[in-house]
A and B are shown apart, each in its own frame.
Chain A
Amino acid sequence: MRQAKALVFAAALTPFLWLVRGVVSGDLGTDPVETIAQVTGVSALACLAATLAVTPLRRLTGWNAMIRLRRMLGLFAFFYALLHASDFFVFDHMLSVPSILEDVVEHPWVLFGFTALLLLVPLAVTSTSGWVRRLGGKRWQRLHRLVYVIAPLAAAHYYLAVKRDVTWPTVFAVVFAVLLLARFVGRPARALRRGPLPSSGPER
Protein backbone atom coordinates (compact mmCIF):
# COMPACT_ATOMS: atom_id res chain seq x y z
CA MET A 1 0.00 0.00 0.00
CA ARG A 2 2.78 2.37 0.88
CA GLN A 3 4.34 1.80 -2.53
CA ALA A 4 1.02 2.30 -4.29
CA LYS A 5 0.55 5.55 -2.44
CA ALA A 6 4.04 6.78 -3.32
CA LEU A 7 3.48 5.83 -6.93
CA VAL A 8 0.16 7.66 -7.19
CA PHE A 9 1.65 10.68 -5.42
CA ALA A 10 4.53 10.82 -7.90
CA ALA A 11 2.19 10.42 -10.86
CA ALA A 12 -0.18 13.12 -9.65
CA LEU A 13 2.69 15.51 -8.99
CA THR A 14 4.29 15.04 -12.42
CA PRO A 15 2.30 17.76 -14.26
CA PHE A 16 3.18 20.25 -11.54
CA LEU A 17 6.88 19.39 -11.73
CA TRP A 18 6.71 19.70 -15.51
CA LEU A 19 5.26 23.19 -15.13
CA VAL A 20 7.88 24.19 -12.57
CA ARG A 21 10.62 23.04 -14.92
CA GLY A 22 8.96 25.06 -17.70
CA VAL A 23 8.69 28.21 -15.59
CA VAL A 24 12.31 27.94 -14.46
CA SER A 25 13.66 27.36 -17.95
CA GLY A 26 11.22 29.84 -19.54
CA ASP A 27 10.01 27.10 -21.84
CA LEU A 28 6.23 26.98 -21.59
CA GLY A 29 5.54 27.68 -25.24
CA THR A 30 4.27 30.75 -27.04
CA ASP A 31 1.55 31.50 -24.48
CA PRO A 32 2.77 30.35 -21.04
CA VAL A 33 -0.39 31.53 -19.30
CA GLU A 34 -2.46 29.38 -21.62
CA THR A 35 -0.11 26.42 -21.19
CA ILE A 36 -0.46 26.65 -17.41
CA ALA A 37 -4.24 26.91 -17.75
CA GLN A 38 -4.37 23.82 -19.98
CA VAL A 39 -2.05 21.66 -17.90
CA THR A 40 -3.53 22.55 -14.50
CA GLY A 41 -7.11 22.33 -15.80
CA VAL A 42 -6.72 18.93 -17.40
CA SER A 43 -4.75 17.68 -14.36
CA ALA A 44 -7.54 18.79 -12.03
CA LEU A 45 -10.09 16.96 -14.17
CA ALA A 46 -7.93 13.84 -14.34
CA CYS A 47 -7.42 13.80 -10.56
CA LEU A 48 -11.14 14.32 -10.09
CA ALA A 49 -11.86 11.39 -12.40
CA ALA A 50 -9.33 9.26 -10.51
CA THR A 51 -11.00 10.19 -7.22
CA LEU A 52 -14.38 9.16 -8.61
CA ALA A 53 -12.91 5.94 -9.98
CA VAL A 54 -11.84 4.66 -6.58
CA THR A 55 -15.23 3.42 -5.40
CA PRO A 56 -16.29 1.63 -8.62
CA LEU A 57 -12.83 0.10 -9.03
CA ARG A 58 -12.80 -1.02 -5.45
CA ARG A 59 -16.11 -2.78 -5.93
CA LEU A 60 -14.97 -4.26 -9.19
CA THR A 61 -11.64 -5.57 -7.93
CA GLY A 62 -12.46 -6.10 -4.27
CA TRP A 63 -9.18 -4.36 -3.45
CA ASN A 64 -10.58 -2.34 -0.58
CA ALA A 65 -7.29 -0.80 0.46
CA MET A 66 -7.65 1.45 -2.60
CA ILE A 67 -9.82 3.73 -0.52
CA ARG A 68 -6.62 4.95 1.12
CA LEU A 69 -5.66 6.67 -2.15
CA ARG A 70 -8.84 8.66 -2.41
CA ARG A 71 -8.09 11.55 -0.09
CA MET A 72 -4.77 12.19 -1.78
CA LEU A 73 -6.34 12.17 -5.24
CA GLY A 74 -9.11 14.50 -4.14
CA LEU A 75 -6.61 16.92 -2.64
CA PHE A 76 -4.57 16.86 -5.84
CA ALA A 77 -7.72 17.74 -7.78
CA PHE A 78 -8.18 20.72 -5.48
CA PHE A 79 -4.50 21.66 -5.74
CA TYR A 80 -4.64 21.78 -9.55
CA ALA A 81 -8.00 23.55 -9.57
CA LEU A 82 -6.52 26.20 -7.27
CA LEU A 83 -3.46 26.66 -9.52
CA HIS A 84 -5.76 26.79 -12.54
CA ALA A 85 -7.91 29.51 -10.98
CA SER A 86 -4.86 31.44 -9.71
CA ASP A 87 -3.40 31.52 -13.23
CA PHE A 88 -6.70 32.99 -14.42
CA PHE A 89 -7.16 35.44 -11.53
CA VAL A 90 -3.60 36.75 -11.70
CA PHE A 91 -2.86 36.94 -15.42
CA ASP A 92 -6.30 37.44 -16.94
CA HIS A 93 -7.71 39.66 -14.20
CA MET A 94 -4.65 41.06 -12.42
CA LEU A 95 -6.38 40.03 -9.16
CA SER A 96 -9.10 42.64 -9.66
CA VAL A 97 -12.15 41.38 -7.74
CA PRO A 98 -14.70 43.45 -9.72
CA SER A 99 -13.19 42.19 -12.96
CA ILE A 100 -13.34 38.56 -11.77
CA LEU A 101 -16.91 38.89 -10.54
CA GLU A 102 -18.01 40.52 -13.79
CA ASP A 103 -16.54 37.60 -15.71
CA VAL A 104 -18.24 35.10 -13.37
CA VAL A 105 -21.62 36.75 -13.83
CA GLU A 106 -21.39 37.25 -17.57
CA HIS A 107 -19.86 34.03 -18.79
CA PRO A 108 -21.25 30.60 -17.86
CA TRP A 109 -17.95 28.80 -18.40
CA VAL A 110 -16.34 31.04 -15.76
CA LEU A 111 -19.35 30.65 -13.46
CA PHE A 112 -19.22 26.85 -13.69
CA GLY A 113 -15.50 26.68 -13.04
CA PHE A 114 -15.71 29.20 -10.21
CA THR A 115 -18.59 27.34 -8.55
CA ALA A 116 -16.80 24.02 -8.86
CA LEU A 117 -13.74 25.56 -7.18
CA LEU A 118 -15.83 27.05 -4.34
CA LEU A 119 -17.54 23.71 -3.74
CA LEU A 120 -14.17 21.95 -3.60
CA VAL A 121 -13.06 24.17 -0.70
CA PRO A 122 -15.21 22.60 2.04
CA LEU A 123 -14.29 19.14 0.79
CA ALA A 124 -10.59 19.92 0.96
CA VAL A 125 -10.97 21.48 4.42
CA THR A 126 -12.91 18.49 5.82
CA SER A 127 -10.65 15.90 4.25
CA THR A 128 -8.75 15.28 7.49
CA SER A 129 -9.48 12.41 9.86
CA GLY A 130 -10.25 14.95 12.55
CA TRP A 131 -13.06 16.43 10.46
CA VAL A 132 -14.47 13.00 9.67
CA ARG A 133 -14.70 12.36 13.41
CA ARG A 134 -16.16 15.77 14.12
CA LEU A 135 -18.84 15.49 11.44
CA GLY A 136 -19.54 11.80 11.87
CA GLY A 137 -19.19 9.37 8.98
CA LYS A 138 -22.69 9.83 7.66
CA ARG A 139 -22.76 13.59 7.62
CA TRP A 140 -19.23 13.65 6.26
CA GLN A 141 -20.28 11.41 3.43
CA ARG A 142 -23.33 13.47 2.64
CA LEU A 143 -21.17 16.61 2.43
CA HIS A 144 -18.68 14.89 0.19
CA ARG A 145 -21.39 13.91 -2.25
CA LEU A 146 -20.93 17.49 -3.46
CA VAL A 147 -18.42 15.92 -5.82
CA TYR A 148 -21.41 14.67 -7.84
CA VAL A 149 -22.20 18.33 -8.53
CA ILE A 150 -18.58 19.41 -8.93
CA ALA A 151 -17.73 16.88 -11.64
CA PRO A 152 -20.52 17.91 -14.06
CA LEU A 153 -19.74 21.59 -13.42
CA ALA A 154 -16.08 21.02 -14.21
CA ALA A 155 -16.92 19.09 -17.36
CA ALA A 156 -19.34 21.81 -18.52
CA HIS A 157 -16.70 24.46 -17.75
CA TYR A 158 -14.20 22.72 -20.04
CA TYR A 159 -16.78 22.12 -22.76
CA LEU A 160 -17.75 25.79 -22.93
CA ALA A 161 -14.17 27.03 -22.82
CA VAL A 162 -13.01 25.46 -26.08
CA LYS A 163 -13.77 27.10 -29.39
CA ARG A 164 -14.71 24.18 -31.60
CA ASP A 165 -12.82 20.96 -30.97
CA VAL A 166 -14.72 19.40 -28.08
CA THR A 167 -12.96 16.02 -28.26
CA TRP A 168 -11.29 16.26 -24.84
CA PRO A 169 -14.19 17.92 -23.03
CA THR A 170 -16.38 15.13 -24.39
CA VAL A 171 -13.95 12.48 -23.16
CA PHE A 172 -14.06 13.91 -19.64
CA ALA A 173 -17.84 14.30 -19.69
CA VAL A 174 -18.25 10.65 -20.71
CA VAL A 175 -15.73 9.44 -18.11
CA PHE A 176 -17.48 11.39 -15.36
CA ALA A 177 -20.89 10.12 -16.47
CA VAL A 178 -19.68 6.51 -16.48
CA LEU A 179 -18.05 6.87 -13.07
CA LEU A 180 -21.13 8.47 -11.55
CA LEU A 181 -23.49 5.89 -13.06
CA ALA A 182 -21.23 3.02 -12.01
CA ARG A 183 -22.03 3.89 -8.42
CA PHE A 184 -25.66 3.03 -8.89
CA VAL A 185 -25.32 0.21 -11.37
CA GLY A 186 -22.50 -1.58 -9.60
CA ARG A 187 -24.14 -1.47 -6.23
CA PRO A 188 -25.81 -4.58 -4.81
CA ALA A 189 -29.55 -4.07 -4.40
CA ARG A 190 -29.41 -5.17 -0.77
CA ALA A 191 -26.93 -2.52 0.11
CA LEU A 192 -29.08 0.11 -1.56
CA ARG A 193 -31.87 -0.68 0.84
CA ARG A 194 -29.54 -0.67 3.80
CA GLY A 195 -28.04 2.66 2.88
CA PRO A 196 -24.36 3.38 2.23
CA LEU A 197 -21.88 0.56 2.39
CA PRO A 198 -19.92 0.73 5.62
CA SER A 199 -16.68 0.41 3.71
CA SER A 200 -17.35 3.40 1.47
CA GLY A 201 -16.50 5.88 4.20
CA PRO A 202 -13.32 7.88 4.19
CA GLU A 203 -9.88 6.61 4.92
CA ARG A 204 -9.33 6.29 8.64
Chain B
Amino acid sequence: MLIRRPPDIPPREITPERLFWDRRRFVGALGQGLGALAIGAVTPGIAACSTGERLQQGDDKLTPWDDVTGYNNFYEFGTGKGDPKRNAGSLRTRPWTVRVEGEIAKPATYALDDLLRPFPAAERIYRHRCVEGWSMVVPWMGFPLRDLVKRLEPTSRAKFVEFTTLHDPAQMPGQRSDILAWPYVEALRLDEALHPLTLMVTGVYGKPIPNQNGAPLRLVVPWKYGFKGGKSLVRIRFTERQPATTWNVAIPHEYGFYANVNPEVDHPRWTQARERRVGELFRRKTLMFNGYADQVASLYAGMDLRVNY
Protein backbone atom coordinates (compact mmCIF):
# COMPACT_ATOMS: atom_id res chain seq x y z
CA MET B 1 0.00 0.00 0.00
CA LEU B 2 1.25 3.39 -0.86
CA ILE B 3 1.23 5.73 2.09
CA ARG B 4 1.50 9.29 0.96
CA ARG B 5 3.34 11.61 3.24
CA PRO B 6 4.02 15.28 2.78
CA PRO B 7 7.66 16.10 2.12
CA ASP B 8 9.02 16.42 5.62
CA ILE B 9 12.36 18.08 5.12
CA PRO B 10 12.57 20.62 7.90
CA PRO B 11 13.83 24.06 6.94
CA ARG B 12 16.67 23.73 9.41
CA GLU B 13 18.06 20.85 7.39
CA ILE B 14 17.83 22.75 4.15
CA THR B 15 19.56 25.87 5.39
CA PRO B 16 22.77 25.44 7.34
CA GLU B 17 22.54 27.26 10.61
CA ARG B 18 25.36 29.70 9.85
CA LEU B 19 23.76 30.77 6.59
CA PHE B 20 20.47 30.93 8.41
CA TRP B 21 21.88 33.46 10.85
CA ASP B 22 23.57 35.37 8.06
CA ARG B 23 20.26 35.62 6.32
CA ARG B 24 18.71 36.94 9.51
CA ARG B 25 21.45 39.48 9.88
CA PHE B 26 20.87 40.48 6.26
CA VAL B 27 17.15 40.81 6.78
CA GLY B 28 17.76 42.66 10.02
CA ALA B 29 20.15 45.08 8.32
CA LEU B 30 17.67 45.47 5.52
CA GLY B 31 15.02 46.20 8.11
CA GLN B 32 17.14 48.90 9.62
CA GLY B 33 17.95 50.27 6.20
CA LEU B 34 14.40 50.41 4.91
CA GLY B 35 12.96 51.43 8.20
CA ALA B 36 11.08 49.34 10.69
CA LEU B 37 7.77 50.18 9.06
CA ALA B 38 8.11 48.02 5.97
CA ILE B 39 9.60 44.98 7.68
CA GLY B 40 7.45 45.41 10.73
CA ALA B 41 4.31 45.39 8.65
CA VAL B 42 5.22 42.41 6.53
CA THR B 43 7.23 40.12 8.78
CA PRO B 44 6.94 41.28 12.34
CA GLY B 45 8.44 38.12 13.77
CA ILE B 46 11.65 38.72 11.93
CA ALA B 47 11.57 42.33 12.89
CA ALA B 48 11.08 41.28 16.49
CA CYS B 49 13.94 38.88 16.48
CA SER B 50 16.55 40.32 14.18
CA THR B 51 16.52 43.94 15.12
CA GLY B 52 19.86 45.38 16.14
CA GLU B 53 19.04 44.80 19.79
CA ARG B 54 18.91 41.07 19.45
CA LEU B 55 21.92 40.54 17.22
CA GLN B 56 24.11 43.00 19.03
CA GLN B 57 23.32 41.56 22.45
CA GLY B 58 23.92 38.11 21.06
CA ASP B 59 22.51 36.63 24.23
CA ASP B 60 19.33 35.14 22.84
CA LYS B 61 20.84 31.86 21.72
CA LEU B 62 18.37 29.16 20.80
CA THR B 63 17.49 26.85 23.67
CA PRO B 64 18.48 23.31 22.65
CA TRP B 65 15.81 20.96 21.31
CA ASP B 66 16.17 18.60 24.28
CA ASP B 67 15.35 21.38 26.74
CA VAL B 68 12.53 22.86 24.66
CA THR B 69 10.88 19.46 24.34
CA GLY B 70 11.89 17.91 27.67
CA TYR B 71 11.30 20.66 30.21
CA ASN B 72 7.96 22.41 30.24
CA ASN B 73 4.61 22.71 31.92
CA PHE B 74 1.65 20.86 30.45
CA TYR B 75 -0.40 19.81 33.47
CA GLU B 76 -2.56 17.57 31.28
CA PHE B 77 0.38 15.17 31.47
CA GLY B 78 1.50 15.81 35.05
CA THR B 79 2.85 18.68 37.10
CA GLY B 80 6.57 17.85 36.85
CA LYS B 81 8.64 19.57 34.15
CA GLY B 82 9.67 16.19 32.74
CA ASP B 83 6.17 14.73 32.91
CA PRO B 84 4.90 16.05 29.55
CA LYS B 85 7.70 14.38 27.61
CA ARG B 86 7.33 11.20 29.66
CA ASN B 87 3.56 10.93 29.41
CA ALA B 88 2.46 12.64 26.20
CA GLY B 89 2.93 9.54 24.06
CA SER B 90 -0.70 8.65 24.76
CA LEU B 91 -1.99 11.71 22.91
CA ARG B 92 -3.36 10.92 19.44
CA THR B 93 -3.09 13.98 17.22
CA ARG B 94 -4.63 12.43 14.07
CA PRO B 95 -7.43 12.59 13.28
CA TRP B 96 -7.91 15.96 14.93
CA THR B 97 -10.72 18.43 14.61
CA VAL B 98 -11.02 22.03 15.67
CA ARG B 99 -14.37 23.61 16.38
CA VAL B 100 -14.59 27.31 15.55
CA GLU B 101 -17.65 29.03 16.91
CA GLY B 102 -19.19 32.00 18.64
CA GLU B 103 -19.30 35.44 17.10
CA ILE B 104 -18.14 34.51 13.59
CA ALA B 105 -19.71 34.30 10.17
CA LYS B 106 -19.80 30.50 9.86
CA PRO B 107 -19.26 28.38 12.94
CA ALA B 108 -17.96 24.97 11.87
CA THR B 109 -15.88 21.96 12.82
CA TYR B 110 -12.77 21.58 10.70
CA ALA B 111 -10.47 18.68 10.18
CA LEU B 112 -7.12 20.07 11.26
CA ASP B 113 -5.55 19.83 7.81
CA ASP B 114 -8.46 21.72 6.25
CA LEU B 115 -8.19 24.44 8.86
CA LEU B 116 -4.44 24.84 8.36
CA ARG B 117 -4.25 24.47 4.58
CA PRO B 118 -4.42 28.20 3.72
CA PHE B 119 -1.66 29.12 6.18
CA PRO B 120 1.90 28.07 5.39
CA ALA B 121 4.03 27.75 8.49
CA ALA B 122 7.15 29.88 8.81
CA GLU B 123 9.81 29.94 11.48
CA ARG B 124 9.55 32.54 14.24
CA ILE B 125 12.16 32.76 16.96
CA TYR B 126 10.58 34.00 20.17
CA ARG B 127 11.63 34.43 23.75
CA HIS B 128 9.43 32.32 26.03
CA ARG B 129 9.03 33.45 29.65
CA CYS B 130 7.34 31.21 32.21
CA VAL B 131 5.49 32.79 35.12
CA GLU B 132 7.68 30.63 37.37
CA GLY B 133 10.77 32.65 36.47
CA TRP B 134 12.56 30.65 33.79
CA SER B 135 12.84 31.39 30.08
CA MET B 136 13.87 29.92 26.76
CA VAL B 137 14.40 31.00 23.16
CA VAL B 138 12.36 28.84 20.84
CA PRO B 139 12.28 28.57 17.03
CA TRP B 140 8.56 27.97 16.59
CA MET B 141 6.96 27.12 13.27
CA GLY B 142 3.59 28.66 12.69
CA PHE B 143 1.48 31.41 11.19
CA PRO B 144 -0.04 34.58 12.60
CA LEU B 145 -3.33 33.96 14.36
CA ARG B 146 -4.65 37.11 12.68
CA ASP B 147 -4.63 35.35 9.29
CA LEU B 148 -6.93 32.69 10.68
CA VAL B 149 -9.11 35.18 12.54
CA LYS B 150 -9.64 37.23 9.39
CA ARG B 151 -10.66 34.18 7.43
CA LEU B 152 -13.19 33.25 10.12
CA GLU B 153 -14.83 36.68 9.79
CA PRO B 154 -15.65 37.66 13.37
CA THR B 155 -18.86 39.64 13.81
CA SER B 156 -18.85 43.15 15.24
CA ARG B 157 -19.73 41.68 18.62
CA ALA B 158 -16.56 39.59 18.85
CA LYS B 159 -14.32 41.14 21.51
CA PHE B 160 -12.40 38.13 22.80
CA VAL B 161 -11.05 34.86 21.46
CA GLU B 162 -11.11 31.80 23.67
CA PHE B 163 -8.89 28.72 23.18
CA THR B 164 -9.82 25.34 24.63
CA THR B 165 -7.48 22.40 25.06
CA LEU B 166 -8.54 18.80 24.48
CA HIS B 167 -10.25 17.24 27.50
CA ASP B 168 -9.77 13.49 27.46
CA PRO B 169 -8.36 11.87 30.61
CA ALA B 170 -7.80 8.65 28.65
CA GLN B 171 -5.21 10.44 26.51
CA MET B 172 -4.19 13.03 29.08
CA PRO B 173 -3.47 11.26 32.36
CA GLY B 174 -2.92 14.53 34.23
CA GLN B 175 -6.61 15.30 33.78
CA ARG B 176 -7.45 12.44 36.15
CA SER B 177 -6.35 14.79 38.91
CA ASP B 178 -8.35 17.92 39.65
CA ILE B 179 -5.26 20.09 39.97
CA LEU B 180 -6.93 22.49 37.51
CA ALA B 181 -10.51 22.80 36.24
CA TRP B 182 -10.43 20.93 32.93
CA PRO B 183 -10.54 21.59 30.10
CA TYR B 184 -7.78 24.18 30.05
CA VAL B 185 -9.09 27.44 28.69
CA GLU B 186 -7.13 30.52 27.71
CA ALA B 187 -8.21 33.68 25.96
CA LEU B 188 -7.05 36.92 24.39
CA ARG B 189 -8.65 40.23 23.69
CA LEU B 190 -9.45 40.44 19.98
CA ASP B 191 -6.81 43.13 19.39
CA GLU B 192 -4.21 40.90 21.08
CA ALA B 193 -5.30 38.00 18.91
CA LEU B 194 -4.94 40.21 15.83
CA HIS B 195 -1.46 41.38 16.79
CA PRO B 196 1.06 40.18 14.22
CA LEU B 197 3.29 38.61 16.89
CA THR B 198 0.54 36.26 18.07
CA LEU B 199 1.25 32.87 16.56
CA MET B 200 -0.62 29.67 15.90
CA VAL B 201 2.09 27.06 16.22
CA THR B 202 2.33 23.70 14.49
CA GLY B 203 6.05 23.03 14.72
CA VAL B 204 9.33 23.71 16.44
CA TYR B 205 12.89 23.45 15.15
CA GLY B 206 11.48 22.81 11.70
CA LYS B 207 9.67 19.67 12.81
CA PRO B 208 6.05 19.01 13.68
CA ILE B 209 5.52 20.10 17.25
CA PRO B 210 5.93 17.16 19.66
CA ASN B 211 2.94 16.07 21.72
CA GLN B 212 4.46 17.37 24.94
CA ASN B 213 4.68 20.89 23.53
CA GLY B 214 1.03 21.05 22.51
CA ALA B 215 0.58 19.09 19.29
CA PRO B 216 -0.98 19.42 16.88
CA LEU B 217 -1.92 23.08 17.29
CA ARG B 218 -1.11 25.56 20.03
CA LEU B 219 -1.02 29.26 20.70
CA VAL B 220 2.13 31.28 21.41
CA VAL B 221 1.91 34.87 22.66
CA PRO B 222 5.52 35.89 23.22
CA TRP B 223 4.94 38.99 25.36
CA LYS B 224 2.79 37.09 27.86
CA TYR B 225 3.68 34.44 30.41
CA GLY B 226 3.80 31.00 28.88
CA PHE B 227 0.58 29.73 30.45
CA LYS B 228 -1.41 32.02 28.13
CA GLY B 229 -0.42 29.79 25.22
CA GLY B 230 -3.07 27.07 25.18
CA LYS B 231 -1.90 23.71 23.81
CA SER B 232 -3.51 20.89 21.82
CA LEU B 233 -6.40 23.15 20.88
CA VAL B 234 -9.78 21.69 19.93
CA ARG B 235 -11.91 24.81 20.04
CA ILE B 236 -11.58 28.47 19.16
CA ARG B 237 -14.52 30.58 20.22
CA PHE B 238 -15.20 34.28 19.67
CA THR B 239 -17.05 35.99 22.48
CA GLU B 240 -18.42 39.36 23.44
CA ARG B 241 -17.56 38.95 27.12
CA GLN B 242 -14.18 38.21 28.64
CA PRO B 243 -13.92 34.43 29.00
CA ALA B 244 -13.03 32.75 32.28
CA THR B 245 -9.48 31.41 31.94
CA THR B 246 -8.12 28.41 33.80
CA TRP B 247 -5.29 29.86 35.90
CA ASN B 248 -7.27 32.97 36.64
CA VAL B 249 -10.13 30.84 37.95
CA ALA B 250 -7.73 28.64 39.95
CA ILE B 251 -5.86 31.44 41.77
CA PRO B 252 -7.36 34.81 40.76
CA HIS B 253 -5.06 37.05 42.79
CA GLU B 254 -1.93 35.40 41.34
CA TYR B 255 -2.81 34.89 37.68
CA GLY B 256 -4.66 37.64 35.86
CA PHE B 257 -6.39 37.59 32.50
CA TYR B 258 -3.67 39.64 30.83
CA ALA B 259 -0.56 37.93 32.26
CA ASN B 260 1.76 40.23 30.34
CA VAL B 261 5.41 39.72 31.19
CA ASN B 262 6.13 42.61 33.53
CA PRO B 263 9.25 42.90 35.70
CA GLU B 264 7.59 45.64 37.73
CA VAL B 265 4.57 43.64 38.87
CA ASP B 266 5.62 40.73 41.06
CA HIS B 267 3.78 37.50 41.40
CA PRO B 268 2.28 37.77 44.92
CA ARG B 269 4.67 35.08 46.10
CA TRP B 270 7.83 35.68 44.10
CA THR B 271 9.64 38.30 42.08
CA GLN B 272 9.16 38.72 38.34
CA ALA B 273 12.06 41.16 37.99
CA ARG B 274 14.54 38.46 37.00
CA GLU B 275 14.48 35.17 35.19
CA ARG B 276 16.80 32.24 34.64
CA ARG B 277 17.41 31.56 30.97
CA VAL B 278 17.57 27.81 30.57
CA GLY B 279 21.23 26.89 30.10
CA GLU B 280 22.49 29.74 32.27
CA LEU B 281 23.26 29.66 35.99
CA PHE B 282 22.62 33.25 37.00
CA ARG B 283 19.43 35.20 36.56
CA ARG B 284 19.05 38.02 34.08
CA LYS B 285 16.73 41.00 34.14
CA THR B 286 13.27 40.33 32.78
CA LEU B 287 12.31 42.77 30.03
CA MET B 288 9.03 44.66 29.89
CA PHE B 289 6.59 42.69 27.74
CA ASN B 290 9.38 40.11 27.45
CA GLY B 291 11.33 42.49 25.24
CA TYR B 292 8.47 43.11 22.80
CA ALA B 293 7.38 46.42 24.32
CA ASP B 294 8.10 48.34 21.09
CA GLN B 295 5.48 46.31 19.34
CA VAL B 296 2.82 45.63 21.96
CA ALA B 297 2.92 48.35 24.63
CA SER B 298 0.40 50.43 22.67
CA LEU B 299 -2.21 47.70 23.15
CA TYR B 300 -2.30 48.62 26.82
CA ALA B 301 -2.01 52.38 26.62
CA GLY B 302 -3.80 54.00 29.53
CA MET B 303 -4.30 50.74 31.40
CA ASP B 304 -3.03 50.26 34.94
CA LEU B 305 -0.91 47.15 34.56
CA ARG B 306 -0.86 46.61 38.33
CA VAL B 307 -4.61 46.19 38.29
CA ASN B 308 -4.74 44.39 34.96
CA TYR B 309 -1.95 41.92 35.73
Contact = CB atoms under 8 A, between A and B. Distances in A.
Contact of B70 (A30, A33, A107): A30
Nearest to A164: B179
Interface residues of B, number: 25
B269 A91 contact: no
A92 interface: yes
A106 B81 contact: no
Contact of B271 (A33, A34, A107): A107
B116 interface: no
A109 B82 CA distance: 25
Nearest to B79: A165
B79 A91 contact: no
B269 A108 contact: yes
Contacts of A33: 276, 281
A163 B276 contact: no
Contacts of A106: 266, 271
A160 interface: yes
A107 B270 contact: yes
Nearest to A32: B281
Interface string B183-222: 0000000000000000000000000000000000000000
B269 A92 contact: no
Nearest to B66: A30
A91 B179 CA distance: 30
Interface string B254-269: 0000000000001001
Contacts, number: 48
Interface in B69-89: 70-71, 75, 79, 81-82
B269 A164 contact: no
Interface in B32-67: 66-67
B279 to A, nearest CB: 8
Given A163-B132, A164-B250, A29 B179 contact: no
Contact of B269 (A30, A34, A160, A165): A160
A92 B280 CA distance: 11
Interface in B235-254: 250-251
Interface residues of A, number: 19
A13 interface: no
A83 to B, nearest CB: 15
A103 interface: yes
A31 B71 CA distance: 9
Q: Which of A32, A91, A164 has the most CB of B within 10 A?
A: A164
Contacts of B96: none
B180 interface: yes
A165 B179 contact: yes
Interface in B275-294: 276, 278, 281-283
A32 B134 CA distance: 12
A141 to B, nearest CB: 36
A94 B276 contact: no
Contacts of B271: 103, 106-107
Contact of A107 (B81, B82, B269, B281): B269
Interface in A66-123: 91-92, 94, 103, 106-109
Nearest to A30: B71
A158 to B, nearest CB: 12
A34 to B, nearest CB: 8
Contacts of B82: 29
Contacts of A32: 281
A164 B179 CA distance: 7
Given A30-B67, A107-B270, A164 B79 contact: yes
Contacts of B251: 164
Given A31-B278, A107-B269, A164-B180, 5 more contacts: A31-B134, A91-B276, A94-B282, A106-B266, A161-B270
7 contacts: A31-B278, A91-B283, A94-B282, A106-B266, A107-B270, A160-B269, A164-B251
Instruction: Give the 4 A-B residue pairs with the shortest CB-CB distance, closest first.
Output: A30-B71, A165-B79, A30-B67, A91-B281
